[in-house]
Amino acid sequence: MERVSITERPDWREKAHEYGFNFHTMYGEPYWCEDAYYKLTLAQVEKLEEVTAELHQMCLKVVEKVIASDELMTKFRIPKHTWSFVRQSWLTHQPSLYSRLDLAWDGTGEPKLLENNADTPTSLYEAAFFQWIWLEDQLNAGNLPEGSDQFNSLQEKLIDRFVELREQYGFQLLPSHLLSRHGGRSRNHSVFAGLRDGS
Per residue in 122-172, pLDDT tens?
A: 788 888 889 999 999 999 999 999 999 988 888 888 888 888 888 887 755
To the question of pTM greater than 0.85 for the whole model, the response is: no
Q: What angle do CA 169, 174, 177 make, to 5 degrees?
A: 105
| DSSP H stretches of helix in the chain | 12-18, 42-67, 70-75, 83-91, 124-125, 131-140, 154-169
Question: Quick one: which of 160, 162, 188, 182 has its CA closest to 173?
Answer: 162
Domain boundaries along the sequence of the chain: 2-179+187-196
SS3 171: coil
* Ranges 2-16, 93-107, 184-198: which has the least confidence: 184-198
Which amino acid, residue 15? K
Instruction: Name the burial class of residue 129, with classes exposed (0-12), middle (13-18) and buried (19+) by CB atoms within 10 angstroms of its CB.
Output: buried
